[in-house]
Amino acid sequence: MTVELISVGTELLMGNIVNTNTQYLAEKCALLGLSLYYQSVVGDNRERLGETLRTALDRSDIVILTGGLGPTEDDLTKETCAEVLGMPLVEDKRTHERIENYLKSNNFAVITENNWKQALVPEGAIILDNDNGTAPGLVLEKEGKTAILLPGPPNEMIPIFRKQVYPYLNHRQPELIRSKMIKVCSLGESVIEDKLLDLIDAQTNPTIATYAKTGEVHIRVTARAESEEAAKKLLSPVVKEIKSRLGNYVYSTKEHETLEMVVVDLLKKYDLTVTTAESCTGGLIAGRLVNVPGASDVFHSGFVTYTNKAKRKFLDVSKSTLKQYGAVSEQTVREMAIGGVFATESDACIAVTGIAGPGGATDDKPVGLVYIATYMKDKVNVEEYHFQGSRAKIREQSVVKALDLLRRSILENYG
């Protein structure tokens, strides 16, 4: 079965935003064993979208469209699909109510007439409720072809896809495809490929694919089989072999488990509390920990100490350390980690200080120099990194490495 992606949006054609939806959907389609040969982007234009959709429906079984479902006049993905497939638009009462409730509970003072445009659906469509916005997702089936319409914002698109479209496509795909994800931190993609080269070269079923993420690499092992049991039999030995080759760098083998979930789980397991002492990351490590529902069991408070004065006042970093070694140094990050534990009476602290740029570099301290430390059980672990890229990229990488150092320190001290 073939699938094709069409992203709709003038903001994509203008380069206002990066098209991340396509990568998400392409990865999921591969996971489902669907063959994807074409992706297109078109603007909010009835004629060009219509032409693109006709071409796509001609050559592929399923077309997934994202974007252009908003309430404004430019948004015409639904109208164009309805026209191309010859399905008239009718009002869906349940969607009308859902939109009304959504807008009311989000304190929209005025519900304007154009909001109700989103309650119109092509007759006979399967409606996919949207928990995070007003536009519903839609599945249109006609003469053996399928168009799936999803909202453009990833925080609306992804939950609809995961909960409603994935099961729908899985059901339509007769072949059984099962995969296992192995998530790795603190090892580069080429090092991983090197370690797994013979396995990758020999792959047929299961296949092995690596996906580079910020500071992480995800390895997907995928098998095609006739039964759950046969799939498991194909996957297990390969997954086991990869895990044994990569050791402690593997932080998870669960599809939806994030690095912060693993960290929070480990803290809970060993009944520990942690605090954060952040300089260049400026709250983002705390922000990641709080991503996990129930993080309050292990994370009570954290500090952003962005200036020397703040590091001294809240973390008791000594004036002489700051003067002698500077704010971005092994010595300072060490004192930050220890100070965090004492200020909060937590069991552990993760501390970060670095130069995210573009300013702040000196001859011996370039942009991208970052120190990360953990303190627990009277023991400090410090790591020094030299990251490349933009300010944002350096900070993102620092957050991932910090969470991973925390994970590895807990395993080392309590595991």
> In the complex with a second copy, which residue's Cβ is closer, 107 or 320?
107
> In the complex with a second copy, which residue's Cβ is closer, 87 or 281?
281
List binders of a second copy among 89-118 (CB under 8 A): 102, 105-108, 110, 112, 114-115
Q: Which residue has the tokens 């200036």?
A: 307
Phi, psi angles (nearest 5°) of residue 53? -65, -40
**Measuring CA to CA, how many Å separate 107 from each of 101, 103, 104?**
10, 6, 5
- Judged by CB under 8 A, which of 174, 244, 294, 364 binds a second copy? 294
Segment interacting with a second copy (CB under 8 A) among 85-93, 138-146, 246-254, 352-360: 352-360
> In the complex with a second copy, which residue's Cβ is closer, 32 or 234?
32
Minimal distance, residue 336 CB to a second copy, in Å = 12
Is 285 a binding residue for a second copy by CB under 8 A? The answer is yes
List binders of a second copy among 147-206 (CB under 8 A): 153, 155, 159, 188-191, 193-194, 200
CA atoms within a 13 Å half-sphere pointing along the CA-CB vector of 392: 0
Q: How many residues bind a second copy (CB under 8 A)?
A: 113
Mind giving me the DSSP string for 197-255?
HHHHHH-SSSEEEEEEETTEEEEEEEEEESSHHHHHHHHHHHHHHHHHHHGGGEEE--T
Segment interacting with a second copy (CB under 8 A) among 77-85, 141-149, 237-245, 388-396: 388-396
> In the complex with a second copy, which residue's Cβ is closer, 323 or 378?
323
> In the complex with a second copy, which residue's Cβ is closer, 28 or 407?
28
List binders of a second copy among 120-139 (CB under 8 A): 131-133
List binders of a second copy among 41-70 (CB under 8 A): 41-43, 45, 48, 52, 55, 70
3-state SS class at 63: strand
Segment interacting with a second copy (CB under 8 A) among 87-95, 234-242, 243-251, 392-400: 392-400
- Quick one: CA dihedral 375, 299, 412, 333, positive or negative? negative
Q: Are 88 and 129 in contact (CB under 8 A)?
A: no
**Measuring CA to CA, how many Å separate 266 from each of 288, 297, 406, 407, 412?**
15, 12, 10, 7, 12
The tokens for 185 are 């931190």
